[in-house]
Amino acid sequence: MPVTVSVLCVCLGNICRSPTAEAVLRTRAEEAGLALEVDSAGTGGWHVGHPPDRRAQAAAAARGYDLSRQRARQVVQGDGRFDLILAMDDQNAADLRRLLPPEAHDRIALFLDGAPETAGRSVPDPYYDDRFDHVLDLIEAAADGWVARLKAGR
């Protein structure tokens, strides 16, 4: 199954939302028979090299997603190569427009644009409020939407 689309999921520190989105999107794509290259990164570099937050790992594991091998990294210029760059919130999208070359800007979207009922909204950062299950609910819904769109060639 050849890779047809590359997707980068982006949040602030790459330890909660974007690694969760990476794992969910990869899993949902595999289940749908869609070959995707999926990665994640943060707009900030505070957690580079660290594994995802233990709470994010626990919430994801409870639903069958394994984040344990992921390590945080910061967005770099070369990430402009991705076909689709999915930001977790408006600030991440704005930061991506600052960090990536102009030719990548039209490939930046909000992750929740994948689900009509959540479009235009942000995936809230669960780092301070512990709403990891709520974040997973949103990410799963949007991942299913992106998989359906990408499978249909849109």
- DSSP character for 119? T
pLDDT (0 to 100) of residue 54: 97
Of 27, 64, 2, 40, which is closest to residue 143 (Cα–Cα)?
27
| Amino acid sitting at position 82 | F
| Torsion angle, alpha carbons of 35, 4, 102, 154, to 10 | -90
- Residue 77 phi/psi, 5° resolution? -50, -40
Q: What angle do CA 4, 18, 55 make, to 5 degrees?
A: 135
Beta strands in 60-100 (DSSP E): 84-87
pLDDT (0 to 100) of residue 154: 64
pLDDT (0 to 100) of residue 9: 98
> Which residues are catalytically annotated?
11, 17, 125
Give the Cα separation of 29 and 35 in Å (integer). Answer: 7
Spell out the residues 6+ positions from residue 73 whose beta carbon is closer than 8 angstroms to its own.
14, 41, 42, 48, 49
pLDDT (0 to 100) of residue 22: 98
Going from the N-terminus, what domains does the chain have, and what CATH number goes with each?
5-151 (3.40.50.2300)
| Amino acid sitting at position 17 | R
Check if the beta carbon of residue 12 is closer than 8 Å to that of residue 21. Answer: no
- Averaged over successive runs of 10 residues, the pLDDT of the chain (154 residues) comes to 83 98 98 96 96 98 97 97 97 97 97 84 94 96 96 82
Run of H or E residues at 108: strand 108-110
